[in-house]
Amino acid sequence: MRPVLFIIFLLSAISLHAQTYRYIYELSYRPSLKDDAHENMYMVLDVNPDETKYYDYSFLEKDSLNRLHHTQNTSWSEQIPVKRKRNSTENSNFVMIGNDIFVYKTNDKIDWTLSDETQKIENMTCQKASANFGGREWTAWFTKDIPISEGPYKFQGLPGLIVQLKDSESDFIFHLVKNKNLPQTYDTSDFLEVRYGNKPIAVTEKTVYRKAKEFFNDPFIEIRQKMKTDKSFRFEANGVKYETKDLDLLTKQQQKEILENYNPLEKNKNFFAQ
């Protein structure tokens, strides 16, 4: 019986390794620096056999509707999606600036300090860990009950799955709310690696900063250029028609809105910092 039991155990281990694990996190975040009001959204962490993907749950909802109705809802996310190879600290970051989506790589090693403190969260024994990352101080609660060294966004490297994660200012609070095993890896190629026919432009992080600065300096540059070349073109927003001379005022208003409503998770990488 021993060889048979060994074969059964081996097949179970292979099956377990081949599975994709999907974890849904509720994210409570403070989008505006003007007040302490928080907004809630759900984020997906797909732990595939070879790589990990983190993205907005609305991507899944829109993908299902697009497949059902043969449409292309291409709206983007406030949070930066990332993907990486398993057990790697090199992340591919996806970001939209203006009408373009870019992908750039970063190396994001996180040095955790483990604590002996534990607590029960959702009937799981969780251990406390802390780290400095992205210009913020973070506290994580992870569980060895789920021996997967992953977590939301770029947070990984602990000896178990991250169940809760919070920065010291409570700007970003993650809480694991759901998990399921998928029989096969979910195909994200139509809304992440390629955005409904448009492949993200591969650039360096330095280029992303430059593109963001260019957009901030003149968010209406495409409209401004079209007004110069096409005299019949009129820019209309919220039922109001604007002339070329109005764009300077609109630019200042847009810049003010960007600065007041931009609170990045990695605040030491503020694309629009002055």
Given a cut of 50, whether residue 5 has pLDDT beyond it is no
Q: What is the pLDDT of residues 45-74, one digit of tens each?
A: 999 999 999 999 998 887 666 564 445 556
Number of C-beta neighbours around residue 110 at 10 A = 18
d(CA 168, CA 40): 18
Q: Which amino acid type is present at position 248? A: D
Long-range contacts of 55-63 (CB under 8 A, 24+ apart): 55/81, 55/188, 55/192, 56/81, 57/24, 59/188, 59/191, 59/192, 60/186, 62/191, 63/190, 63/191
Is the predicted pLDDT of residue 138 greater than 90, yes or no?
yes
Residue 246 DSSP one-character state: G
pTM (2 d.p.): 0.86
CA distance 111 to 109: 7
Q: For 162-204, how does the pLDDT look when each residue is reduced to its tens digit (9 = 90+)?
A: 999 999 999 999 999 999 999 999 999 888 888 767 899 999 9
Q: What angle do CA 99, 104, 109 make, to 5 degrees?
A: 140
CB-CB contact of 220 with 249 (8 Å): no
CA distance 131 to 110: 7
